Amino acid sequence: MASLSTSLPKPSFQHPNTSINLPDHLHNSCLVPRNLSFQRLGLISQHGLFGKMKIARCSHQAEALVDSNTQISDVPILTCSEAFERLKKNRENQKGKQQFLAMYSSIFGGITTDTSAMVIPLDDHMVHRGHGVFDTAAIVDGHLYEFDQHLDRILRSASLAKINLPFDRENIRRILIQTVSASKCKTGSLRYWLSAGPGDFQLSPSDCHQPALYAIVIQDQSPRDSRGIKVVTSSVPIKPPQFATVKSVNYLPNALSKMEAEENGAYASIWLDNDGFVAEGPSMNVAFVTKEKDLLMPAFDKILSGCTAKRVLTLAEGLVKEGKLHGIKIDDVTVEEGKKADEMMLIGSGVLVRPVVQWDNQVIGDGKKLLCNKLCIANMAFRTL
């Protein structure tokens, strides 16, 4: 693991001796006067702000967040400190299974452990145009698992997305390691993004003058679950190979596919490619153990190249030598082959190796997951530096 004693590099656009001190009268110069009425601007009708609001809800929401009959009248104009206090209060009120321990941003050139400050600019091209790529590495015993493989993948994704790097590879690596160190996280994950950067709201990134790097350390409080799961065939169209092989932030198809599974009482949906062969899950690879005891996995030419899936292939070679597997095949997999397999599994950094016991209405094998358990145990055991 790299030394953590050196200071973080500054983005190339930031001169090390440059500081900006604004006169007092400029700090609030962009604020709308408090006495400026929205009604004078013609934005409030007799039904309230922008007319009567209609609130849509997701299928899993118990109730709407705002009463659709609520009249919104006075929207406060906040100072920077007031907005920050509201951000802080909002964070304090959020209760979830994940904790955000540290964030790095090349925009402010440092690491923060205050969740209220874990924000990115709205004009970042990644936010409003989806022009960004990301990756995730597991944190095990305070160390990043297979970090260099994940780092190489995001750099490849950035190249395919035509995103320049704010730093060279070694400095990006050093920043991410220091972010994990500052978080003091022992078990969790590091997620990091490269984007075209902030600039304006145009479609072209030509006025995004500096690419950006963001990273966050996540600690998940959920206990790891290794029980067998159900999957369904996704009706959401799969991304074309040009985009499926890039780990970009455009995860709308993935989210819709996951939601479709949950609406059908399943854990995940399985995508088929345009030729009808088994492709992948919404955020994980898929593999099978045939009746002939071959480990069968779809090729990576049309789907994302999974770092954990590649690790499983390496571990499986040991099971072949032990006689527990007959062989390893990377090939097209038909739905019929998949559903007739002895075992089926989902593979990813979030799920490790998760056994699938039912696909649509078909029980997989006898519902057991013997080899899948062996691969999961081996994967956990080999999580070394």
Active-site annotation, residues: 247
Q: Please state, in angstroms and rounded to a whole number, the distance separating the CA atoms of residues 198 and 210.
A: 7
Q: Please state, in angstroms and rounded to a whole number, the distance separating the CA atoms of residues 16 and 11.
A: 9
Phi, psi values for residue 259, rounded to 5°? -65, -40
Q: Please state, in angstroms and rounded to a whole number, the distance separating the CA atoms of residues 136 and 230.
A: 25
Return the amino acid letter for 74. Answer: D
**Among residues 337, 339, 320, which one has the least CA distance to residue 328?**
320
Buried b (16+ CB within 10 A) or exposed e, 26-48: eeeeeeeeeeeebeeeeebeeeb
SS3 at position 316: helix
Q: How distant, in Å, are the alpha carbons of 37, 43, 44, 62, 277 from that of 40? A: 5, 8, 8, 37, 60
Residue carrying the six token digits 């345009």? 274
